[in-house]
């Protein structure tokens, strides 16, 4: 049997065929997985999720998205081991900060109570508006919102007729923060199906980690408030 003669043209043709098949396969895989892979929460996000809503085992990989005015609210439903919905993690933004946008992540249980929050991003003034990061968790005064059931509390500043004390010297930042929190709950109130046990999409298990070590960076700067 005569062996096929090796030649550069033959080798080049074979290389091109193999390359074309490989690129086609990889392109097909990427097409069907890119949306899911880009929306699965990162590990840092999962740690942060666990911080604002401690008691859950699985969370949606793709959020429900709602428009509330100019803001887009993202809602991740959270489930226990039996896939029962135990709450929601809501990412809400306010464009009304003293310097710029304020992004807040809020954990709600199925009763609509705020379990915790994290300020993910802001540009408010250091020492003034930046105090929103912890101000609304303090047990002193009338500014703690942890454990509050939003439909039973007026989450507006006292100066605006509400029940919450503003950050000292930073009323604008405090008002913007509470705006984001109210918007988050407003979406949950309107979309009554959020807390139903039906799974919206694929879920991802949350690794067990020490969430106390989670660090959320904030942007600092801006003029005095």
* pLDDT value of residue 191: 77
At 20, which helix (H) or strand (E)?
helix 8-39
pLDDT tens track for 136-150: 998 777 889 999 888
Q: Against a cut of 0.75, is the pTM above it?
A: no
Q: Which of 15-29, 62-76, 187-201 has the highest mean pLDDT?
A: 62-76
The two tokens of residue 16 are 């091109």
Residues 6+ apart with CB under 8 A from 198: none
CB-based contact 154:162 (threshold 8 Å): yes
Give residue 199's pLDDT: 63
Helix segments in 68-222, DSSP class H: 132-135, 171-190
Higher pLDDT, 205 or 187: 187
- Residue-wise pLDDT tens digits, 88-132: 999 999 888 888 889 999 999 988 899 999 999 888 878 888 889
**72 vs 10: CA distance, rounded Å:** 56
- The predicted model gives 15-25 an average pLDDT of 69
Q: Is the pLDDT confidence value at 6 over 90?
A: no
Average pLDDT rounded to a whole number, residues 56-74: 85
- Distance separating alpha carbons of residues 99 and 110, to the nearest angstrom: 34
């Amino acid at each position: 049997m005569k062996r096929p003669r090796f030649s550069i043209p033959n080798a080049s043709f074979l290389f091109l065929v193999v390359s074309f098949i490989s690129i086609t396969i990889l392109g097909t895989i990427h097409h069907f997985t890119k949306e899911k892979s880009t929306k699965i929460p990162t590990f840092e996000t999962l740690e942060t999720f666990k911080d604002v809503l401690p008691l859950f085992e699985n969370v949606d990989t793709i959020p429900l998205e709602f428009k509330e005015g100019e803001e887009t609210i993202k809602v991740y439903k959270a489930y226990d081991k039996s896939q029962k919905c135990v709450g929601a993690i809501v990412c809400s933004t306010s464009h009304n900060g003293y310097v710029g946008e304020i992004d807040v992540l809020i954990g709600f249980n199925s009763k609509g109570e705020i379990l915790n929050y994290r300020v993910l991003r802001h540009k408010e003034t250091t020492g003034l508006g930046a105090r929103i990061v912890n101000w609304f968790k303090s047990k002193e005064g009338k500014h703690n919102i942890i454990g509050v059931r939003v439909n039973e509390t007026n989450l507006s500043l006292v100066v605006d007729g509400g029940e919450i004390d503003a950050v000292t010297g930073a009323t604008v930042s405090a008002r913007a923060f509470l705006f984001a929190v109210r918007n988050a709950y407003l979406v949950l109130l309107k979309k009554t199906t959020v807390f139903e046990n039906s799974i919206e999409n694929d879920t991802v298990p949350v690794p067990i980690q020490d969430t106390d070590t989670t660090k959320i960076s904030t942007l600092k700067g801006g003029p005095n408030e």
